[in-house]
Amino acid sequence: MKHMIIGTAGHIDHGKTTLIKALTGRETDRLKEEKKRGISIELGFTYFDLPNGLRAGIIDVPGHEKFVKNMLAGVIGIDLVLLVVAADEGVMPQTLEHLAILNLLGVEKGIIALTKADLVEEEWMELVEEEIREEIRGTFLENSPIIRVSSTKRQGIDDIIQILEDRSRKLDYKKEDETPRLPVDRSFIVSGFGTIVTGTLLSGSLKKGDEVEVFPKGNISRIRTLQVHDEDAEVAYAGQRVAMNLAGIKKEDVERGSVVAPIDSMKKTMMLDVKVGLLESLDRTIPNRTRLKLYLGTKELLCRIILLDRDELSPGEEAYAQLRLEEETVAKMKDKFIIRFYSPMFTIGGGEILEPNPTKKKRFDSNALRELEVKDQGSFGDILENIINEKSKEFPSIKELTLATSMKEESIKDEVDKLAREDRVKSFTLTEDSYIIHKEYFKELQALIIDELEQFHKNYSLRVGMPKEELRSKTIKNASPRLGEIIIDKLIREGILEQKSEFIRLKDFKIQYSDKQLKIKDKIIRIFAENAYIPPKMGDLNQLIREKEIEINEVVNSLIDSGDIVRLNREILILKESYDNSLVKLKRFFESQDSISIGEFRDILNTNRRVSIALLEYFDEKKITKRDGDKRILMKGFD
């Protein structure tokens, strides 16, 4: 869906507000002081319909140098600019500053309105036009039309409307598939309604009744009513001027610079990784750690610039930097910004956000600079891969990647699927979400798991493997237990690991007994076989075999791991063959009886009460039997 927002720019008293009135029939100066002084101080908003039926929003920005911060708040999200130059004065300082700001913010389309054309001679008009052409050379306005205008006599007004209509047909579709964001440029109270906020919806769509969050303060609200161009609406789309009535929010909780967006869709920050450039016209360099005014969206805040690859930035140069903020804000990758000196106040440059929620970076760190280069020059897939690579140790979910990029979940899922098909990332799906790590980090985890198992096999050469939970907890520490299991299972499917019962071992691992260990093993099995249902305690076993306790324990543990011996409880072990026979005898008993007592089972096996209890409790644990008073009954499926 196409929507058009037009913004004005230009020096004070060059006729921006009068031009808008000629186009729309409406006055945008609202304040008494504006009407008294004849200048715009705050932003003005109105709209008009083009001949093709498209309704265009129009933003009137102040031209005085003292109100540049208000101008910056108004030009966010505009599709086309009307740069206004008065014919009787020509290009002035604020004309150039506004032009520089628009260029830095990435505005791509515009018209130059040469106002007050009825007040000058033709020769002077031609000189002014020549001056304008010289000043716009190399900017986005270089090939834009210059229309001679007299707003009071309506000269050139129809020409501007025709050009606007032509340009409207070539508008790009707004980013409706992205997370909704509305940077607030005004908030006020309407009696009987409460807090009203206005702004240009940069992306996505918002509906009446939606639950929203006001960032960065985090207040939760609901959109009670919506208006688009002074008319009630059920839905507002990207590219429209929007007013919304927020329920349960005080005016002071949603000031200019706040962002209204879905709950938990953005993450506040005190740092921003950026690519920043200085204007060529600047007459000084910017040293590292210079304190600056930052204009981001509709917000104005102070920051220090940390230059990551140099000690100072010269006019016309670009560099990677980290902005350390003096208050919290929210942003999205690729957002544009402006920087100004705060004393004296004038524009010095701007740039683009590469990472809205970075970690603190060291200067001259080659790895950090390479990461920023990818985010600067790469495709969205490259950028997302880089983010995943950075965050792999945190095992980011699709939801967390959505938060990091401000893209909708569907878009992130599609891009992750593509990266997974290209074997650039590994994706693991749980019930509630999918978790993504970079393939290089997966290789690190694989190497770590292999090293851990190699050491385990070396230390415990007779063990069938390491318990799965122990392996997970030692190697995949930052993931949830279930996610850790899924990663280990993937290595099993790929033939790198092998699972036996609850134990994990390397695929090519084989238990190899020494001659001495084989002798101990044979003695243990013989002793347990000869004492099938009155097995020896471990202490007795040590006395019977007369070898070192540690060596006997190692062989016993190996036989337990392999399943040759069953551990009924902490103290009682039994040969697997004896266990199987006891189960056969139990089932045979139940062929003619409904229940069995401890004494009856003891007599069947010709054992003692201690062993019969241990066996029956083990059967209970395995869901073979079920306790019924002082007897056991056979569970269904085992009869």
pLDDT band for 493, please (50, 70, 90 cuts): very high
Q: Which fold has domain 378-512?
A: Arc Repressor Mutant, subunit A (1.10.10)
C-alpha to C-alpha distance for 451 and 478, rounded to whole angstroms: 18
- Chain region(s) in the chain for CATH 2.40.30.10: 182-262, 269-369
Of 3.40.30.10, 2.40.30.10, 3.30.1540.10, 1.20.1530.20, which CATH number belongs to 182-262? 2.40.30.10
Tell me what the mean pLDDT of segment 236-242 comes to. Answer: 87
* Closest residue by Cα to residue 424 from 458, 484, 383: 383
Task: Give every CB contact of residue 385 below 8 A, 6+ residues apart in sequence.
Answer: 419, 424, 425, 438
Order of strands across the sheet with 80-86? 44-49, 55-60, 4-10, 80-86, 110-115, 146-148
CA pair distance 532, 458, nearest whole angstrom: 33
Q: pLDDT-based confidence at 174, cuts 50/70/90?
A: low
Residue 638's pLDDT is what?
66
Is residue 30 predicted with pLDDT exceeding 50?
Answer: no
For residue 546, give Cα distances in angstroms to 10, 188, 524: 99, 90, 11
What share of the chain in percent tops pLDDT 70? 93
Query: Mind telling me the catalytic residues?
Result: 13, 16-17, 64
Angle between helices 398-405 and 409-421 (to 10 degrees): 110
Provide mean pLDDT across the span 117-124: 92
Name beta bridge partners: 110.
81
Q: Is the pLDDT assigned to residue 35 strictly greater than 60?
A: no
Angle at 176 between CA 175 and CA 179, to 5 degrees: 90
pLDDT of residue 62: 55
Q: What's the fold here for domain 515-634?
A: Arc Repressor Mutant, subunit A (1.10.10)
Q: Is the pLDDT of residue 1 over 80?
A: no
Asked if residues 22 and 157 have their Cβ atoms less than 8 Å apart, the reply is yes
For residue 434, what are the β-bridge partners?
429
What CATH superfamily is the domain 4-168?
P-loop containing nucleotide triphosphate hydrolases (3.40.50.300)
DSSP H helical ranges for 392-514: 398-405, 409-421, 439-459, 468-475, 481-493
Percent of the chain with pLDDT over 90: 56
Mean pLDDT of 248-270: 92
- Which of 33-37, 357-361, 579-583 has the weakest average pLDDT? 33-37
pLDDT(393) > 70 = yes
CA distances from 489 to 85, 475, 500, 550, 596 (A): 69, 14, 12, 33, 41
Question: What is the rounded CA–CA span in Å between residue 515 and residue 513?
Answer: 6
Neighbouring residues of 71: CB distance < 8 A, sequence distance ≥ 6: 9, 61, 62, 63, 98, 101
> Locate tokens 């493997």: which residue?
465
Per-residue pLDDT tens digits for 542-592: 778 877 888 888 888 889 888 899 999 988 999 999 999 999 999 999 989
Range list for CATH 1.10.10.10 in the chain: 378-512, 515-634
Q: What average pLDDT does the chain have?
A: 88
Mind listing the pLDDT tens digit for each residue in 395-433? Answer: 999 988 988 876 778 889 999 999 999 999 999 998 878
Q: Which residue has the higher pLDDT, 184 or 410?
A: 184
Residues sharing a CB contact under 8 Å with residue 637, sequence separation 6 or more, in sequence order: none
Q: Cα–Cα–Cα angle for 97, 257, 215, nearest 5°?
A: 150
Full DSSP string of 257-326: T-EEEETTS---EEEEEEEEEE-TT--S-EETT-EEEEEETTEEEEEEEEESS-SEE-TT-EEEEEEEEE
Q: Strand, coil or helix: what is 163?
A: helix
Return the pLDDT at 28. 56
Per-residue pLDDT, averaged over 379-394, amounts to 91
Q: In CATH, which superfamily holds the domain spanning 269-369?
A: Translation factors (2.40.30.10)
CB 601 within 8 A of CB 584: no
Most confident of 12-16, 65-69, 274-278, 554-558: 274-278
- CATH 3.40.50.300 domain position(s) in the chain: 4-168
Q: Of residues 210 and 56, which shows the higher confidence score?
A: 210
